[in-house]
Structure 1
Amino acid sequence: MTGVENALGPLFLLILLGALFGWLRWPAGDFWPRLEQLIYFLLFPAMLLATLATTDVSQVPVGRLALVLLGTMALFATLLWGLRARLRIDAAAFTSVFQGALRFNTYVGVAGAAALHADAGTTTAAVAVALLVPVVNVLCVASFVAAGTLGPSSVTKSLSALARNPLILACLGGILLNLSGIGLPGWSEKAVTLLGRAALPLGLVAVGVALRPQALMRLDRGVWAANLVKLILMPAVVVALALLIGLDAVSRDIVLLFAALPTATSAYILARQLGGDAELMAALITGQTLLAMITLPLWLSLVG
């Protein structure tokens, strides 16, 4: 096995373990939705806060990272809108294709970065999250507005939810604590760090639980378009840009990792709430997560 496979293999096993739990429906009841809320609102923000508040982010080339990641995202967002008519799919399906092509699974990304490059990878991934999460959320909400699948009241509700997004707030809080020199004083650093350590393994298992194997039967034009962009075209463009501007090895691996990640499981909830094609979104989440177990190590091995 290569170093990339050794790093990512355990992560994929945790996702498959979650898929087994989902298939067995164990634990029963509302255990998994409540655990996902705990991860999303407490554990994962704690990890981002601890990382950004206490590490030397000056070692991360933030400007070049933003250029590669946000530039690529803007390119494909524009391209998808330009090709919307050619896709010949309805507005609801297009919003799911848009999410499937642009959103990324943050849990897999940060866990993969830590597995590949330890603390340096985690820090770079936290900066990538701080850059990408606000932008991708705004773009996806804007896609629902532009496609006409939701009304003005939903726009207000969506923007309000964006302003309260715990990942965005954790990133902002961590950056402010770092720049102010306060950091996490006293016992708070160890306490917040301990909380954050639980986020990644539990988050990966929760990703597996959210998979819907029955959705894999859907293989229409929207599925092919989103998968082509997410798993092939976007990583290819990011690799080219990273090499062009001379990113260091750690930053190059992290931007490629985030470009090649499967779409976020939370995209299904957004599709259902804002008038998207929820079944298409389920097919994209499940298909991309399984395909990424093959494509992600291939991309990283190619540049490594």
Structure 2
Amino acid sequence: MQDVASALGPLFLLILLGALLGWARQPGGDFWPSMERLIYFLLFPAMLVATLASADVSQVPVARLALALLGTLTLFAGLLWGLRRYLGLEAAAFTSVFQGALRFNTYVGVAGAAALHGHAGATVAAVAVALMVPVINVLCVTSFIAAGTLGSSSLARSFAALSRNPLILACLIGIGLNLSGIGLPGWSGEAVALLGRAALPLGLVAVGVALRPAALMRLDRGVWAANLVKLVLVPATVLVLALLLDLDPVSRDVALLFAALPTATSAYILARQLGGDAELMAALITGQTLLAMGTLPLWLRLVT
């Protein structure tokens, strides 16, 4: 537990620092919204491009990793829809539960993988992001469509935004540079890598800033259902699949890490834009982030 705690502890401290800065409203104005856009549209994509363009992907069991992660995602997406009537949630609330149960915080995942296993962990994490981000975005947008919370104009904008998602585009660029053998030539490699190094610490602080402690007062059926799936059932399923598929220790640990992550802070924006229950989403983001500080090390301790 000490090794896991030593690796993840600094990440959680940065999140708590962000929560303190958010509570103190420092820096003021639109600093943090602007910083979040910079991280999302430039710094984090740069990190993905730099990692994937130079990664030895042949060392990553991509097919088995995809089976463990994407198989679990599609399984629980189907189960949630099958249980929708029994949950008794309105359409808007259900879409937030769906996001809360399936989406993952990319910043914490990549930072945690690098902290646990260095460059090898970061490489597997980048592959996991490339596999999961497109699928999970399609699943979540589809959930809004199926629940009927958005109109045709919003539908068109949603798919247009999906095609311009900076993380998806960064993964495609990085993989293309890798497979073509071009890589990042000359000074561009170090320049892009330098940009990417700023993404994780700033991203973790931004996660803390986005937390809404007041939302923790909401403890209804939707909160319990999403937290149970996200923090217990999804990581348990991925762990079983990882062991059955005989993933190597690094791939197994990263797969379990990504499965046990709290939901993404960006889910709140999606809930507001597409007709979800934004307050429920805020409760899930805040509660899961705080709970994961305890559950995430416990899951990883099972395989170390």
* TM-score after normalising by structure 1: 1.00
Counterpart residue number, 1:251: 251
Q: Counterpart of 1:186 in 2: which secondary structure?
A: coil
Residues 49-83 of structure 1, C-alpha deviation per residue, up to 9 Å, x if partnerless? Answer: 00000121110000000000000000000000000
Counterpart residue number, 1:237: 237
Percent identity of the aligned residues? 81
- 1:195-214 matches, within 5 Å, as 195-214=195-214
- 1:33-52 matches, within 5 Å, as 33-52=33-52
Q: CA deviation at 1:274?
A: 0.3
CA distance in 1 between counterparts of 2:243 and 2:88 reads 35
CA distance in 2 between counterparts of 1:302 and 1:255 reads 13
Counterpart residue number, 2:269: 269
Counterpart residue number, 1:185: 185
Counterpart residue number, 2:218: 218
Counterpart residue number, 2:25: 25
CA distance in 1 between counterparts of 2:161 and 2:274 reads 13
CA distance in 2 between counterparts of 1:191 and 1:27 reads 27
Q: CA deviation at 1:285?
A: 0.1
Q: Counterpart of 1:303 in 2: which secondary structure?
A: coil
Counterpart residue number, 2:94: 94
Counterpart residue number, 2:194: 194
* TM-score after normalising by structure 2: 1.00
Letter in 1 for 2:279: E
Q: CA deviation at 1:2?
A: 1.0
Residues 140-195 of structure 1, C-alpha deviation per residue, up to 9 Å, x if partnerless? Answer: 00000000000111111000000000000000000000000000000000000000
Q: CA deviation at 1:302?
A: 1.1
- 1:1-304 matches, within 5 Å, as 2-304=2-304
Q: Counterpart of 2:302 in 1: which secondary structure?
A: helix
CA distance in 1 between counterparts of 2:68 and 2:54 reads 25
Q: CA deviation at 1:287?
A: 0.1
Q: CA deviation at 1:102?
A: 0.3
- Would you identify which runs of 4 or more consecutive aligned residues in structure 1 move more than 4 Å? none
CA distance in 2 between counterparts of 1:10 and 1:197 reads 16
Q: CA deviation at 1:280?
A: 0.1
CA distance in 1 between counterparts of 2:188 and 2:43 reads 14
Letter in 1 for 2:119: D
Residues 123-150 of structure 1, C-alpha deviation per residue, up to 9 Å, x if partnerless? Answer: 0000000000000000000000000000
Letter in 2 for 1:148: G
CA distance in 1 between counterparts of 2:74 and 2:141 reads 15
* Count of residues paired in the alignment: 304
Letter in 1 for 2:104: F
CA distance in 2 between counterparts of 1:105 and 1:71 reads 19
